[in-house]
Amino acid sequence: MRIVTLEQLGRRLAALPGTPRVVVSGNSAVPWDALRVLDESRDEYIVHALNAPPGIPDRPGVTAETTFVGAGMRRHQGLSYVPCRLSLVPILYAGPLPPDVVIVHCAPPQDGMLSLGIEVNVLPAAIEACRARSGLVVAVVNDRMPYTGGDALVDVSAVDLAVEVSGPLPVHEPPPPADDSRAIGERVAARVADGATLQAGIGAIPDATIAALRDRRGLRVWTEMFSDGVVALDRAGALDPDHPLTTSFLFGSADLYAWVDGNPRVRMARTETTNDPGLIARQRAMTSVNTALEVDLFGQANASRIDARIHSGFGGQTDFVVGALHSPGGQSFIALRSWHPKADVSTVVPLLDEPVTSVQQTAVVTEQGVAELFGYDQRAQCRHLIRDAAHPRVREELWEEARALGLA
């Protein structure tokens, strides 16, 4: 690993042939200093990131490539969305989407090992694929990045160039949940027993669900990501103290980042591990909590598209739905408000007109109630969705549509 200045990095990036594919840390760990240098040094390039936040360069010559669309790419003029389950993304790097450059955001090395800190995800696979084809691996070393272990560790010998920076990480301070989110969280939490294993992402409903579990005991965590709610569970004594907290990336407050820094209980794992349905199925009473944009009377969930425009992507929802249902005592929930407050429409619809993200969950949970799906025939599923999950304003209309669909 050779330490260089940002200017020297820019000259190296400018010398790359063709239109290089550059994989960068995503979510809340984007290496902005290096990305700025990349944009200034090249007319054309492909930037590949998962769930990129606002700030991704958007101009002619920049292709924004991703398998999960974040706010920073959602309306990008050069968006290239590659549909893929998150567990399979690493395979793309060794096949159709080979990286020419990988730029990762790291904590300073300890004993010859850098740490990917709060963002592991698909990055180890990207580094391996890049090195296999003699590409360029760059580390942006930030003394404000927490040092985490597991698959976050990267030997300095795997890095060609490093630039040193010092800057704060993005933080997320969740507001108190609204009444409907709290009601949904409490309904889901009521189905979670002591000793269960949790997967819940970021957002008002997952936050409310986790907050409602503080009186449980022996809970475990196996998830794509976690935030401050897991810290609160730990401080409340709800977690199994002898079991590692397995996750692939983190996003939350400064308190969260301080808590995970050097914490041996936090096991950062690569996507091939966290999102492997077979490994998910081996977790004790695996309980998966995901959300969606809408569900239909066949129990199909759309969490990806709005008006045919890509909003996010498959992500890990399918991985965890399948894995949880194969876990002994496992459950998979789709949790969402029954009425979309901004669009002013029902989130329970007769039939999806968008591609399906997932199907065959244990139940759909809204502030109205819990619609049981798994193990019921399609007519009963439809009945439960209308009676127990849909907003009262649309139930009569949904019954009419159900009869037209042969479900009632």
CA angle 183, 196, 261 (to 5 degrees): 90
**How far is CA 345 from each of CA 74, 124, 298, 311, 390, rounded to the nearest angstrom?**
22, 41, 19, 17, 11
Statement: residue 388 has pLDDT above 80: yes
Of the chain, the percentage scoring pLDDT greater than 70 comes to: 100
Where exactly are the structural domains of the chain? Answer: 2-165, 179-404
Which of helix, strand or coil describes residue 365? strand
Kind and range of the H or E run holding 105: strand 101-110
Q: What are phi and psi of 270, to 5 degrees?
A: -70, 160
| Tens-place pLDDT, residues 76-112 | 999 999 999 999 999 999 999 999 999 999 999 999 9
Which of helix, strand or coil describes residue 121? coil
Q: Which one from 65, 119, 224, 272 is the annotated catalytic residue?
A: 224
Looking at residue 363, its pLDDT comes to 98
- Active-site annotation holds for 224: yes
Average pLDDT, the chain: 96
Which one, of 48, 74, 51, lies nearest residue 62 by Cα?
48
2-165 carries CATH number 3.40.1080.10: yes
| Domain 179-404, CATH number (from 3.40.1080.20, 3.55.50.30, 3.30.590.10, 3.30.450.20) | 3.40.1080.20
User: What contacts 234, CB < 8 A, 6 or more positions away?
Assistant: none
| Tens-place pLDDT, residues 193-238 | 999 999 986 788 988 999 999 999 999 999 999 999 999 999 999 9
Let me know if the fold of 2-165 is the same as that of 179-404.
yes
Distance CA(369)–CA(378), nearest Å, equals 19
The band of 174, judged by pLDDT with boundaries at 50, 70 and 90, is: confident
